A and B are shown apart, each in its own frame.
Chain A
Amino acid sequence: QSALTQPASVSGSPGQSITISCTGTSSDVGSYNLVSWYQQHPGKAPKLMIYEVSKRPSGVSNRFSGSKSGNTASLTISGLQAEDEADYYCCSYAGSSTLFGGGTKLTVL
């Protein structure tokens, strides 16, 4: 049960686009279309942003999108806004367990 691999940090300027990668294995990300992404602001509970690789829950901006290729999933945020500054975590179903990535701190410059 190893954690999924995410970059520790990414940054971008307002209006730009950024992409956060999430690398797993053929036993988790590569085997299931059950990758989700969560946004967490300091001191707050995580919030679901993307589920089943690329679907957005009701109320989540269409600036957030997800994709997957092989064992790597990605979250793209377009038109960066100041309020997007937060920690982002990927998550994948892995059979009898669930794995999270180590988290990526997004800084909006």
Chain B
Amino acid sequence: DTGVSQDPRHKITKRGQNVTFRCDPISEHNRLYWYRQTLGQGPEFLTYFQNEAQLEKSRLLSDRFSAERPKGSFSTLEIQRTEQGDSAMYLCASSLARGGSVADTQYFGPGTRLTVL
């Protein structure tokens, strides 16, 4: 079990640029989640996929944010026209849920730290 992996681990960009992050979930996990964490706070939910379907989106996910999971495996999170307020740690998590299970456990990756200058 190799765990959730995220790439890159660190990203520094200038305001207005677009950035894309990748998440590879634990093999065979069918649910994938994105969270954002700022200093001194707990993670905040952004969006979640079951297989390739995006089933839930937070109001934190503005129009500049888009996430995909095209083949139900890895996922990408893109931020367009980055702003300084986007600086945060972006966390990915995955879980294995059978059927409509409401009792699944999310396992987190190491995160991508984004700094917008």
Q: Answer whether A and B are interacting partners.
A: no
